[in-house]
Structure 1
Amino acid sequence: MPAFTFLRRSRPDRAAVARAARHLTTALAAALVLGALLLPNTLTALAPGRFVRLPAEAVVGAVVLPWLPRPWARRAVAVPTGLALGALTVLNLLDMGFTEYLGRRFNPVLDWELFGDARSYVADSMGGTTAAWAAVGAVALVVVLLAGLALATVRLGEVLAAHRARTAKGALLAGAAWITCSVLGLQAFGVPLAAGQAAGAVGAEARQVADTLRDEAAFAKEARTDPFGATPPDLLVPALRGKDMLFTFIESYGRSAVEDPATAPGVGRTLDAETRALAEAGFRARSGWLTSATYGGGSWLGHSTFLSGLWIDNQQRYRTVTSGDRLSLTRAFQKTGAWDTVGIMPGVRKVWPEAAWHGLDTVRDAAHLGYAGPRFSWSTMPDQYALEAFQRLEHGRKRDRPLMAEVILTSSHQPWAPVPHLVDWDAMGDGAPFGPIAAAGERPADVIPDQAASRRAYGRSIEYSVTCLTQWLRRYGTDDTVLVFLGDHQPIARVSGAGASRDVPVSIVAKDPKVLDAVARWGWTEGLKPAHDAPVWPMSAFRDRFLTAYGSTPRPSAE
């Protein structure tokens, strides 16, 4: 009898628990769908006030789903709707990440192949295990979002259908409220109460895809029209004949390094000190600004923009130009037959077919510079070692012709931990002296999450890279050495600051006064530090201006 009484009493309790579970499931489904409908695509817009608005898409869903005649019909609409909403949420999250790190939205046509580079970066910075778990977590998040939103949409459709009368009244009131808020422009927390976030995002993605496809054809046509494409070899850079020509990119060397209060004092002192040291060694410099086609990453886009004279801001443009016949600035020297050409590429660790477009007779990549010391996070070797290896293997060799070199310096690549420091140039060996420096340096895991620490480390890395390069020039440069060095892009927004420009410093350094006299009309600043109001050009403008300044005769190629 007591057991029977207990069972009778427990039945209503279990029914209450079941009702509570159903209500909780419905509430969670509604929160998930509303959150997805209202989620912005930038971190700066991610604030609680964004989620107290009324989405038009929810009103439409409340009108459509309950009145579908059969459960299977509701599911046939709800499941793809939920999957689409899940996909849109994933795209919004990708936009947040890309905007934070690359200063632009994710491109659903072109950017998928960048995930491999992202995984490699995490593995190099944080270790292979962390990279593997990060990849697993990303895939799991995508699956959860897609499945969760599909199930949530089905659940809401069934609940709304079970209460059609109340749903109809609620949808009518919600629709009237949305129209009123929209017409009157009512706001809460600085954002409109009437939202059309999801529909607007879908439209923006569709436009981006259409623009990308149109751009591919237009850019291919633009790339085929080259002002110097048919210039004979003897009419290319005649004013630089006999000079050793060096084009050097310093990773992430942006305007922020020179002007941001967090980094400018140290970097400014370094630029001023090295300008004086170069002057004592007989070198002069002029500096200006270039606006990079990329931001925060994608260095190859900056390199190819600088060298091609075209604006290359996505992977499709990069593939188009590097697989075509467009004359790169470095290949112009190879085309003359008057220079040996070499690339010093410590960041290249796999097959690099683009070397042909760059016009490089010899490529010294990470495996062919003789380095046996420790990695410095993403950077395979310190810049000082890469430059000394360049001297030992190429620049210091006896030659019948001068040398044109493209040099990529990587020590200032994020995450800026550990940052190397200078060692005795004569005691570098195979890199062993850098072992204790790497072991004693900061760990990426300590720097990456700390914005202030990242900025300090970034500043130190730029000071190091600039000092390595200018010391190398003072040590090994001659009366016939001409150095052009620049940044490829600004550092990520977390370091450069929200709304930072895409400008990077560029400098020309030489002993021969005729070299700098040729660019006197450019209005660039004396020394290595460009003035705040020095001329700013698109990076794509440099190739043609440089070729023209040093005597090249334009002969356009046929389209």
Structure 2
Amino acid sequence: MPSASRTILLAIGFLLSWAYLGLALNLPNWAGGLFGPNHLRPSLEVAFLFGLMALAAAAGWRVGTAARLALSLSVLFLIILRLADFACNTLIGRPVNLSLDLMLLPAILEVLNGSATLAQTAAACVAVPVALVALLLLNLLAFRTAARFLDRRPNRRLFGAALAGLGALTLIGVRPFAPVDEGAASLLAGQASVMARASTLRATHAERFGNDPFASLSDEDVLAHLGRRDVHLMFFESYGETVLANPRYRSVVEPTLQDFDRALAAEGFGVRSGLIESPIRGGQSWLAHGTFLSGERLGDQGLYDLMLTSGRQSLARYFSRAGYRTLAVMPALTRPWPEGEYWGFDRIWRSEDMEYAGPAFGWAAIPDQYTLDFIHRRELRQRDQPLFIEYALISSHGPWEPLPPLLDDWDSLGDGSVYRGLKNPSAAPPSGPAWNDITRKYADSVDYTLKTLRDYITHHIHDDSLIIILGDHQPAPLITGEGASRSVPIHIISRDPELLAPFEEWGFTSGMVPVTEQPTTPPLPMESFRDRFLAAFSAHPAG
């Protein structure tokens, strides 16, 4: 008969196994829930597994190595799914979608690889497999310990009595167990439900995507009221409402916006600003670009892929029909982009086309200042038709370091080699305890791109072009905090008041600082911009 000390050790090991598996399977999807009351409560799901093991032992069936390995591998999968859900909510502000997010792994790895040093990448390649093996071994140890404890009848009775006692507590309003609707089973059920509804949603969206109210417009009527003026569409990476709503970021950005306002007025520009609601948060910028161009809300990769087969005309294709040369400037694009064929751009400027010979500034290797200068030299100075240019400005992409310096002499940019050896003098040290390293870097990166745009527009745009600057999405929740909106600022700039007039009717206000406190109109959904724009600037809009 085992000694009393051995029995106590087995009981302690059993409780530790229950606690470990519960912490792993009930991992919350946001940092604020870590080791909170719900996370620390005993897991009913683990109790259920242990109950099955107890019944098997009572029936004389031994929970052998194969069964424990199967359970351990299942738990490892659930831990990985939990970690993925945690990462998704932390970085892009939404739950994991297993059916779609697996397709994003190459893009995620590309961002991580571009943001890390060679030593960090090598360390990760070692650390990740080691961590997975360690978790599997911990799972095996937990189930082996539980099986040994439950092999003895007195221990099974003790376990059953404990469950009965915890169950009785629920009758008097006490919640002894972690919430089942936050557990691993609920997460799996949610993933299964999403997969089951995918085909129905796909059919519904396919029908809607095919209904384009402007498809019948003649080429002569499309965007006729623009008067063949150039249109610059500038997507500003991670430029979210948080820079205006959060006092820390606003203290950095608002003076620059006000200076931007004064500089525009001095050069004869008018500006209208507002808020527009992005379909995403934290990442997957192409979904925002696609939503803006297509006029339909593309909130996930499945809808984006469906749009590519819909035959719907993008905003770029309408510009082509109006006689414009259409360009996509994508300095972070390092691989083929077959989707560009659908969106209808005459030329796609990828990173390898940009002739950049300067140093890489982290993942956002090519500075926004260089991108704007290069395209101005290569496209705006030598053309024989009006231009519609979509820019992806990336210097404010995480991890927001190193930040390139802003050069006063644009003529010195050349092929970018001027950046070698230069340091950024603009990044100020934190001014108080509210700052941490990453939030300050984010604020400085947004400030850099705003100053770059100010200098470019006021020094290089000498006509009545229409310029649209908007954020693609809010930054990650680790920057905005929990519960942030999906709204992003949008600025419409031109010297021609007639081009600005429609945006006043949409509720946009004068100046570079949008109204964020008690606005008179709610943020404009990003997907509504295409149809509103076509209606405002086409000669005979349909619908």
TM-score by length of 1: 0.87
1:361 has 2:346 as partner: yes
Aligned residue number for residue 481 of structure 2: 497
Pair 1:137 & 2:131 matched? no
* Residues 287, 530 of structure 1: 8 Å contact kept: yes
Deviation at 1:131, TM superposition (A): 2.3
Distance in 1, matches of 2:329 and 2:267, equals 25
Instruction: State how far apart, in whole Å, the 1-side matches of 2:439 and 2:54 are.
Output: 54
CA deviation string 1:427-475 (max 9, x = no partner): 1111122222358899xxx9xxx96222222122112212212321222
Identity of aligned residues (%): 31
Q: 2:459 aligns with which of 436, 458, 475?
A: 475
Superimposed CA distance per residue, residues 278-298 of structure 1 (whole angstroms, 9 cap, x where no aligned partner): 111111010111111111111
Runs ≥4 residues deviating over 6 A: 15-24, 439-442
**8 Å Cα contact 1:342-1:403 kept in structure 2:** yes
Measure, in 2, the Cα distance between the counterparts of 1:219 and 1:145. 41
Q: Contact 1:302–1:489 at 8 Å: present in 2 too?
A: yes
- Counterpart of 2:156 in structure 1 is 167
- 8 Å CA contact 1:411–1:465 kept in 2: the answer is yes
Alignment of 1:482-521 (within 5 A): 482-521=466-505
Is the aligned partner of 1:232 residue 2:221?
Answer: no
In structure 1, the residue matched to 2:417 is: 432
Q: For residues 476-517 of structure 1, what are the alpha-carbon distances to aligned partners after superposition, in whole Å with 9 as ceiling and x for unaligned?
A: 223331101100011112222222111100111111111012
Q: Using the alignment, how far apart are the partners of 2:229 and 2:209 within structure 1?
A: 29
Equivalent residue for 1:184, pick from 141, 159, 172? 172
Counting only pairs closer than 5 Å after superposition, residues 174-323 of structure 1 correspond to structure 2 as 174-187=162-175, 193=177, 195-196=179-180, 197-323=183-309
Two-structure CA RMSD over aligned residues (Å): 2.9
One-letter amino acid of the counterpart of residue 461, structure 1: S
1:464 equivalenced with 2:458 (yes/no)? no
Given that 1:257 and 1:264 are in contact with CA atoms closer than 8 Å, whether structure 2 keeps it comes out as yes
2:313 alignment partner in structure 1: 327
Counterparts of 1:61-72 in structure 2, within 5 Å, are: 61-68=49-56, 69-71=59-61
The structure 2 residue matched to 1:103, chosen from 93, 103, 109, is 93
Q: 1:17 to 1:185 in 2, by over 3 A?
A: closer
Contact (CA 8 Å) 1:178, 1:194: kept in 2 or not?
A: no
- CA distance in structure 2 between the partners assigned to 1:236 and 1:506 by the alignment: 23
1:239 CA displacement: 0.8
Q: What CA distance in whole angstroms lies between the structure 1 residues aligned with 2:147 and 2:490?
A: 59
Cα distance, 1:25–1:181 mapped onto 2, change above 3 Å: closer
Contact in 1 for aligned 2:396/2:449 (Cα 8 Å) = yes
CA distance 1:18–1:382, shift in 2 (3 Å) = same
SS of the aligned residue for 2:421 comes to helix
Aligned residues of 1:347 and 1:380 also touching (Cα < 8 A)? yes
CA deviation after TM superposition for structure 1 residue 64, in Å: 2.3
Cα displacement (A) at 1:256: 1.0
The farther-off stretch of 116-125 and 15-24 is 15-24
Where does residue 539 of structure 1 map in the other structure? 526
From 124, 137, 143, the equivalent of 1:153 is 143
**Whole-angstrom CA distance in 2 between matches of 1:332 and 1:71:** 70
TM-score normalised per structure 2: 0.90
Paired residues of 2:13 and 2:146 also in contact (CA < 8 A): no
Q: Which residue of 1 aligns with 2:373?
A: 388
Asked if structure 2 preserves the Cα contact closer than 8 Å seen for 1:289 and 1:534, the reply is no
CA-to-partner distance for each residue in 1:504-545, whole Å, 9 max, x for gaps?
Answer: 001111111110123321121101211112630111111111
Query: CA–CA distance in 1 between the matches of 2:14 and 2:361?
Result: 51
In structure 1, C-alpha distance between the alignment counterparts of 2:53 and 2:539, rounded to whole Å:
68
| CA–CA distance in structure 2, aligned partners of residues 31 and 309 of structure 1 | 49
Q: Verify: 1:114 aligned to 2:99, yes or no.
A: no
Q: What amino acid sits opposite 2:398 in the alignment?
A: Q
Q: What displacement does 1:212 show?
A: 3.9
Question: Which ranges of structure 1 fall in alignment gaps of 5 or more residues?
Answer: 1-14
SS in 1 for 2:524: strand
Query: In the alignment, which of 68, 78, 82 is matched to residue 72 of structure 2?
Result: 82
Q: Would the aligned equivalents of 2:329 and 2:391 in 1 still touch at CA under 8 Å? A: yes
Instruction: Name the CA distance, whole Å, in 1 between partners of 2:441 and 2:21.
Output: 41
Cα deviation, residue 323, structure 1: 4.0
8 Å contact from structure 2 (residues 405, 424) kept in 1: no
Q: Which residue of structure 1 aligns with residue 395 of structure 2? A: 411
| Deviation, structure 1 residue 29 | 3.3
* Matched AA of 1:368: D
Q: C-alpha distance in 1, partners of 2:197/2:308?
A: 21
Structure 2 Cα separation of the partners of residues 20 and 130 of structure 1 = 44
CA displacement at 1:114 relative to structure 2: 2.2
- Secondary structure (helix, strand or coil) at the match of 1:518 reads helix
Amino acid at match of 1:58: V
- 1:316-372 deviation digits (Å, cap 9, x = unpaired): 112221344222112210123x11111211111111112222221111111112211
Q: Secondary structure at the match of 1:436?
A: coil
C-alpha distance 163-437 of structure 1, shift in aligned 2 (>3 A):
same
- After superposition, the Cα gap between the structure-2 partners of 1:453 and 1:59, relative to the gap in structure 1 and judged at 3 Å, is closer
Q: Structure 1 residues 51-60 or 433-442, which shifts more?
A: 433-442
